[in-house]
Amino acid sequence: MSGEGLGAVPAVDPEEACQTAIDAGLVVHRAHPLNAETSISLLIGGVVMPNARFYVRNHFQIPNLEGASWRLEVGGLVERYHALSLAQLRAMPTQTAMVTLECAGNGRAQLDPPVPGEPWGLGAVSTAEWTGVSLAEVLDRARLKPSAREVVFQGADSGMVEGRAGVTSFERSLEVNQLRDTGALLAFAMNGEALPIQHGYPLRLIVPGWYAVASVKWLTRIQVISEPFSGYYQLDKYQYERDRDGQAEREPVTLQRVRSLIVEPQADQVLDPGETTIRGLPWSGAAPIARVEVSINGDRWQQATLVGERQRGRWQWWQLAARLHTAGSVTVRAKATDLAGRTQPDHPPWNAQGYGNNAVQETRINVRSR
């Protein structure tokens, strides 16, 4: 079942993990470390994605942790150091939240010119119901010192990275003044089941509305510090890098950009002429969705009907009844706008690492002749 990673933590057999993803119908881009996206066809139907079909993003091997011996250390600039067991966390008041996680590189394959990194299509996004303990409550019990500025979250996964010596752990930070607004959870359950190993067992940080890099898996340590964190996955990676008027600009990847997917009909699907229903899923990290508009064959934008509750950081369904009269190839475009006034651009926002592509999606279907 397990092999050894670069660190002291045993790792899941990468071939077994890859085969599990393939059996679940995921589109595997890399076997080691395992990176696999959810097929758009698997999004049809429900609100949450079954655990086995939830997309997988890893930077190193998958740690194989023992829940009984695992502890979450909470230290640094705190009055009370904690080493919490899974049983102690489960005994605390729990919260459940429906949250959409999206890889910051989702849609990277559409950028021109191409950029390095996993060639994600549009399926590096999924939604689940997460259950756990409020991060704010855990930090309140530890009592942050007045000099606390940032909170660093360290996962059990680690390995070698370009440009840094020695073994690098996967670590991310949030500013202290951001923590309560995020509604972050320390999640030990996913869709009513124990957190699966590929999604961070025994504990994962969930940061609603943020790109999923912030939702550190296999969480083992929370360290409160007094200065800006300069970890590899905070400073070297997950930065929007672009040139503006001859000047290099860098901006950290944070909130999910507003986006919508067309789920039905699927690309290249053949339909009979007449009535059809176009469906999809929009979401935004900044604010709830205000509207989704659909254009068929370049015609005027038509407002779709939103289905379900509006909420920041989680997707909901939209649908539009349409008549397809013309035989042949038909283009369908869908554009979402959130209540913060953010709208999808027509073209992908290019940047050197290929993050945050939220351009309007266009798909082609085919209509039979009568």
pLDDT for the residue numbered 248: 84
Q: Is the pLDDT of residue 2 over 50?
A: no
Q: What is the pLDDT of residue 195?
A: 98
- DSSP symbols for 63-102: B---TTT--EEEEESBSS-EEE-HHHHHTSPPEEEEEEEE
* Position 216 pLDDT exceeds 90: yes
Q: What is the pLDDT of residue 244?
A: 82
Q: Do domains 2-237 and 259-367 have the same CATH topology?
A: no
| pLDDT at residue 307 greater than cutoff 80 | yes
What are the tens digits of pLDDT across the range 156-205? 999 999 999 999 999 999 999 988 889 999 999 999 999 999 999 999 99
The whole-number average pLDDT for the span 329-347 is 97
Residue 131 tokens read as 């259950």
Name beta bridge partners: 219: 155
Q: Does 113 sit behind a cis peptide bond, omega within 30 degrees of 0 on the bond before it?
A: yes
Q: Domain 2-237, CATH 3.40.50.920 — does that match?
A: no
Give Dmax (Cα) for the chain.
Answer: 75
Which pLDDT score is estimated for 1? Answer: 35
pLDDT band at 326 (very low <50, low <70, confident <90, very high): confident
**Mean pLDDT on 337-347:** 97
Q: Name the pTM for this structure.
A: 0.95
State pLDDT tens for residues 258-276.
999 999 999 999 999 999 9
Decide if pLDDT at 315 tops 70.
yes
Is residue 4's pLDDT more than 50? Answer: no
Taking only the tens place, the pLDDT of each residue in 140-152 is: 999 999 999 999 9
pLDDT number for residue 8: 67
DSSP classification of residue 13: -
Domain ranges of the chain: 2-237, 259-367
Which one of 3.40.50.10490, 2.60.120.430, 1.10.3720.10, 2.60.40.650 gives the CATH number of domain 259-367?
2.60.40.650
Mean pLDDT, to the nearest integer, of 272-289? 96
For residues 250 and 97, what is the distance between their CA atoms, to the nearest angstrom? Answer: 32
